[in-house]
Structure 1
Amino acid sequence: MAAIVQVRPITDIPPDRCTSANPRNAQFYQNPYPFYAERHADRDGFFWTDYGHWCFAGFDQVNRLFRDKRFGREILHRASRQEIGLPEPKAHTRDFDKAELHSLLNLEPPDHTRLRTLVNRAFVSRQVERLRPRIAELAHELIDGFETHREVDLISAFAAPLPAIVIAELIGVPRDMAPQLLEWSNRMVRMYMFGVSEETERDANAAAIAFIGYLKSLMADRRRAPQEDLLSHMLANAGTEQTLSDDEIVSTAILLLNAGHEATVHTTGNGVKAILESGLSPARLFADQAQTAATVEECLRFDAPLHMFTRYALENMELDHGIVLQKGDVIGLLLGAANRDPKRFTAPDAFDPFRENNQNVSFGAGIHFCIGAPLARIELQEAMRVLFERLPALSLSEAPEYADVFHFHGLKRLMVAW
């Protein structure tokens, strides 16, 4: 899940189209929204000098480019490394790269279509809706574990374990492995950081080695004794037109386990923070299922869990407003900025769960629209509803801080009291 990066130096950009903001600067990643507001005032598209590629912040731009088939998440099916100057893989990230090789997040058709078709049936709305009672049950169970403490870090005690347990159970990983999955996942997603160090790369690779080894041992168990879970389902297709290789199954399982909880963790934390800071009555925000769903959508829009999604240009082209791209160039789609576009939303910087139009791009669009979005929405609805029902006097007990991982926008911790 590492971010793709621009290789070819792009020069001769008009100065008024360039801007700089260091993604590792705490002042920026704690609150990138003033930067986004300035970009909305620019002409369409801007050149982010720190990344060395063009970025897009408008809602319509981002939504359209997500669906533009001239862009993709992989490039080597269209060009050689030599042609676009892409360096050879690093030896010390070999296992991390192996885990990513067949990831749905990175594949393009026809491989993407084949894998997504097989996995999608487990995540369609009518299937995941059946999990709603189980998710509510888990929320109550987690709150039972800390309710008497009167203060807790809501990220580690509630937001992180709930989706990890849900996706683990869905795939077929024992519940008691959820903390270990979180630890491996957290180490791997640090590869999304801007300016990743070799130490981080090696640590992510070590996490990938352990993750792959565990999944392969679990796959061997499922071959001997299949169960009613997604891992058994993927293995059961051996010898059919939808056969998946072991490496494809491993990549798919790791993606689902990593991405299957990451967005939910961050949206839960960011959303609770937004609700508590808004002063709005939780009783109104979760008055019924329709309002609960609307509140969750506003949480997703207001403070998105993923702020940048990068894609390759699959051919030479010229976009609107004089932006010229060569095959292999990277563009950045700024989801967090698109969700605050004043051309799309009235009072975009206001947290308003009662707004009539709160459609957002937090789960992407096009063929890479998040496969787990229906499950994530139900997790968020039930987790937040139960949380504020059980702890109506919830309040912040210290100022929240975001983690230094710009692409994944989430809190380091969320200390609350009641």
Structure 2
Amino acid sequence: MSKTVSLPASLTIDPANRHVSLDVRDPDFYRNPLATYAAIHAQCPAFFWTEQAQWYFAGYEQVNGLLRDRRFGRQILHVATREELGMPAPKPHLQDFDALEAYSLLELEPPAHTRLRTLVNRAFVSRQIEQLKPEIAALAHRIIDGFEKDGHVELLKTYAEIIPVTVIARMLGVPVEDGPLLLDWSHRMVRMYMFNPTLETEHDANRASAEFSAYLAGIIAAKRQSPGDDLLTHMITTEKDGERLSDAELISTAVLLLNAGHEATVHQLGNAVHTILETGESPEMLFADDQATERTIEETMRYAAPLHIFQRYALSDITLDGGIHLKKGDKIGLLLAAANVDPKKFTDPLSFRPDRNEGVHVSFGAGLHFCIGAPLARLELKLSLPILFQRLPGLRLARPPVVRDSYHFHGLERLDLTW
């Protein structure tokens, strides 16, 4: 099912020169970017975004291919200096934030990326994740037990946030009761990934990084004295080629897993519930069996993806198809959510069709940096969504939800439901 949406007044497209002007703060855009993506697909799926001063790519084949293209990387300073590229010096007030980024699995390139990912990957393969199924289902039921009789709930903070942060904390071996702390640090740090963060946002993200790092340093020290059966202990004690992770690597990896392990899932769960209720699809049909459930989950991730952009650096001078010339160190933007609604890949792409079976979306990325937590996110959605609708028949929107002004993360401020 699809709906008619208006294009943002701030959008102008010059297809001849492949230039797009668009204000990300325009409510018509961030509330529903899909209409804008459709206009871009129709006129210039590869374009220079004037306000962002760099090239962006919206086509499915382009995005999927560039995510796998090793001529591009998540960082550039392993092959060039700041002086060579004319990059500004690091900001002193972001010292603690930058220290975490320096060893982040999301930002590294081989061989450092290979070493870290190999140590972490074992815990996130599907056969390991499947063992969490009873625990996740029990957690979902227990949370619903707490509000079922109320007849109403704000779903994001009461349900959508609690499930993923609890699961990833338990996997890592971090006290579950510290969930509110983890969420606060994560929310403050993630604001740094928005376009043009304010100076206040930068200072606050740095404070959150310092607090998060100090907290995890204490957890790591305790686990060295008293190891547990958890992922953090595994990372502390496991060797690869005679090497172990340093404390800086351990802290960065734990922060990434805790942040990435819940931020996107919270938005995806909220977006999925909103989509299902807004389109009027029957939950009984959507979750009739395992196959229907899996297709529903994949379609919600295609249609209402939480992460819309992933960035890459050109590692050398490159000319792409269509005569797009990039210099070493240039950044490009890959529009994951736009690729998910490319009419060359998906029929009637702006429609929510839960029986769709037209290939994979790119909401988890692709290639070297494909989301390591994809099996966990899929399992959490596969369990938490059907349980919610089964336990609360007659579930409906209490009021139209407000979409966050936070492009390029797409999610809701809150989701008020009644039954």
TM-score normalised by L of structure 2: 0.95
Name the counterpart of 2:76.
Answer: 75
Distance 1:22 1:193 in 2: 13
Between stretches 111-120 and 145-154, larger displacement belongs to: 145-154
**Could you list the per-position Cα deviations for residues 50-69 of structure 1 after superposition, in whole angstroms to 9, with x for gaps in the alignment?**
11100000111100000000
Distance 1:381 1:139, change over 3 A: same
In 1, are the aligned partners of 2:155 and 2:415 still within 8 Å (CA)? yes
Distance 2:398 2:119 in 1: 45
In 1, are the aligned partners of 2:103 and 2:248 still within 8 Å (CA)? yes
Sequence identity of aligned pairs in percent?
56
Asked if residue 86 in structure 1 is aligned to residue 97 in structure 2, the reply is: no
Name the counterpart of 2:228.
Answer: 227
SS of residue matched to 1:333: strand
Asked if residue 53 in structure 1 is aligned to residue 74 in structure 2, the reply is: no
Between stretches 66-75 and 350-359, larger displacement belongs to: 350-359
Name the counterpart of 2:143.
Answer: 142
Distance 1:106 1:23 in 2: 24
Q: CA deviation at 1:38?
A: 1.1
Q: CA deviation at 1:86?
A: 1.0
Q: CA deviation at 1:238?
A: 5.7
In 2, are the aligned partners of 1:118 and 1:242 still within 8 Å (CA)? no
Matches within 5 A, 1:7-406: 16-237=17-238, 241-406=242-407
Asked if residue 409 in structure 1 is aligned to residue 410 in structure 2, the reply is: yes
Q: Tell me how many residue pairs correspond in the alignment.
A: 406
Q: CA deviation at 1:242?
A: 4.1
Distance 1:133 1:329 in 2: 46
In 2, are the aligned partners of 1:114 and 1:242 still within 8 Å (CA)? no
Distance 2:147 2:112 in 1: 45
Q: CA deviation at 1:43?
A: 3.5
Unaligned runs of 5+ in 1: 1-12
SS of residue matched to 1:306: coil
Task: Extract structure 1 runs of 4+ deviating beyond 2 A.
Answer: 13-16, 24-27, 237-242
Between stretches 349-358 and 57-66, larger displacement belongs to: 349-358
In 2, are the aligned partners of 1:24 and 1:194 still within 8 Å (CA)? no
Distance 2:86 2:24 in 1: 25
Between stretches 23-32 and 196-205, larger displacement belongs to: 23-32
**Could you list the per-position Cα deviations for residues 37-89 of structure 1 after superposition, in whole angstroms to 9, with x for gaps in the alignment?**
11101234100111110000011110000000000000001110011111111
Cα-Cα RMSD: 1.3
Q: Which amino acid aligns with 2:346?
A: F
SS of residue matched to 1:406: coil
SS of residue matched to 1:19: strand
Q: Which amino acid aligns with 1:234?
A: M
Q: Which amino acid aligns with 1:120?
A: N
Q: CA deviation at 1:322?
A: 1.2
SS of residue matched to 1:356: coil
In 2, are the aligned partners of 1:161 and 1:179 still within 8 Å (CA)? no
In 1, are the aligned partners of 2:48 and 2:55 still within 8 Å (CA)? yes
